[in-house]
């Protein structure tokens, strides 16, 4: 037997080649291929609404399992509890900027900063035909840009620091719609300095969470919507900055998840939900894909 290039093939080799050809032919005919199609890329859901709530300055073990935090502890048990979640840095403000824009914007303290012209989650959502509103407790007026007023502080309110986020997207918590169907695509809820546990105790913050989040969460389970609860930073400055981060909603498979999560990965996941490009350091990570049920719209 001769090969296609004209060189002679030994009889034994010719036999092996014929056998291999027949095996391949049989596989093609019967459909019993030994290779499989590559798995479909991991997906994230597209919730109708996402509400992100950020609390303040508590280590994870100060919250979950604490008798003073029964609501947040129960929330973690019914949702996805990320047991290796971390903030980016200290103090507060750079973490909020990281979560909102994928970068700390060069900010390393809590002083009034901005405005920055850089893209952020809000500007991305609007460009994609979606909507965004930030609701801050005790914000004295829509679009207020002052550094503080009573228990409201700008350092916990990142969208006010970006020139491409309209003033009307910066609203008091009292403007939260009574009908959750009127919520924007993504909204942030920022408690005041007492209710976020910065100035008051864990029990006070947990009580606020029950009062302000439970109604939305109950509604979300019938309306394809998601609740995200996280913290800006841990209280212990010398530790690993581990914080509570929980997802809850009808598309979430409850359980504890030991993968590492940080503010950049949270942002990346929100971006993936709505087909948005990663910004800054959110491009250095992957969205969270393993906590969702099979029904990912």
Element (H, E) at 15: helix 11-30
pLDDT at 13: 42
Q: What is the pLDDT of residue 22?
A: 36
Among candidate residues 276, 241, 237, the one with its CA nearest the CA of residue 101: 276
In this prediction, residue 23 carries a pLDDT of 35
SS3 70: helix
Question: From the first residue on, what is the mean pLDDT of each consecutive set of 10 residues in the chain (297 residues)?
Answer: 36 42 36 37 88 98 98 98 98 98 98 98 98 98 98 98 98 98 98 98 98 98 98 92 98 98 98 98 98 77
CA–CA gap between residue 208 and residue 114 (Å, rounded): 30
Backbone angles phi, psi at 7, to 5 degrees: -80, 145
Q: What is the pLDDT of residue 295?
A: 60
pLDDT recorded at residue 123: 98
The whole-number pLDDT of residue 294 equals 73
Q: Output the CA torsion 293→65→231→58 (10° steps).
A: -170
Task: Look at residue 83 in the predicted model and tell me its pLDDT.
Answer: 98
């Amino acid at each position: 037997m001769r090969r296609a290039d004209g060189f002679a093939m030994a009889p034994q080799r010719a036999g092996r080649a014929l056998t291999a050809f027949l095996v391949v032919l049989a596989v093609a005919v019967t459909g019993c291929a030994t290779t499989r199609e590559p798995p479909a890329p991991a997906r994230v859901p597209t919730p109708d609404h996402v509400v992100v709530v950020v609390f303040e300055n508590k280590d994870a073990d100060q919250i979950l399992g604490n008798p003073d935090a029964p609501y947040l502890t129960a929330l973690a048990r019914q949702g996805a509890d990320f047991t290796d979640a971390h903030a980016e840095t200290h103090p507060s403000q750079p973490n909020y900027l990281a979560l909102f824009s994928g970068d700390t914007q060069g900010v390393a303290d809590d002083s009034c900063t901005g405005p920055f012209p850089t893209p952020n989650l809000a500007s991305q959502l609007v460009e994609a035909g979606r909507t965004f509103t930030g609701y801050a407790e005790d914000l004295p007026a829509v679009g207020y840009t002052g550094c503080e007023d009573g228990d409201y502080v700008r350092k916990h309110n990142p969208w006010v620091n970006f020139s491409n986020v309209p003033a009307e997207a910066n609203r008091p918590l009292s403007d939260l719609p009574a009908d959750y169907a009127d919520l924007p695509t993504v909204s942030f809820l920022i408690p005041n300095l007492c209710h976020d546990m910065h100035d008051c105790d864990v029990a006070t913050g947990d009580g606020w969470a029950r009062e302000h989040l439970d109604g939305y969460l109950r509604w979300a389970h019938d309306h394809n919507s998601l609740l995200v609860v996280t913290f800006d930073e841990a209280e212990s400055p010398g530790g690993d900055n581990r914080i509570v981060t929980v997802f809850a909603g009808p598309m979430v498979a409850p359980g504890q998840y030991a993968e590492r999560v940080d503010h950049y990965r949270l942002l990346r996941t929100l971006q993936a939900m709505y087909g948005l490009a990663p910004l800054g350091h959110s491009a250095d990570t992957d969205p969270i894909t393993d906590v969702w049920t099979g029904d990912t719209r």
